[in-house]
Amino acid sequence: MNLILRPHENLNDPTWSVIISLIIFLIGVLYYVAYILNLSFKEIQEDGQVREQGQERSDEAESRKRDCEES
């Protein structure tokens, strides 16, 4: 009698389809985590650039106030 789902000949053999599925799943998870980290690093860099520009502008404004006060 041929069964569609036949038992393993040796019960100690691993189920390769499950192992391959887990590997594919872990690769997908690692890709997704790397994507999120990449986005966050870009956001941090952009935020740092905006803050540097803001500090430059505030320094210029302070120097203008000092020039006005001295005159």
Q: Is the dihedral of CA 59, 64, 68, 71 positive or negative?
A: positive
Q: What is the DSSP letter of 8?
A: P
Residue 63 has pLDDT above 70, yes or no: no
Please state the domain extents for the chain. 23-71
Three-state DSSP class for 7?
coil
pTM: 0.55
Helices (H), 1-71: 16-70
Residue-wise pLDDT tens digits, 11-50: 777 788 889 999 999 999 999 999 999 999 998 888 877 7
From residue 55, give the alpha-carbon distance in Å to each of 18, 44, 46, 61: 55, 16, 14, 10
Q: Which tokens is 35 given?
A: 């994507």
- Give the pLDDT score at 10: 78
- Give the pLDDT score at 23: 96
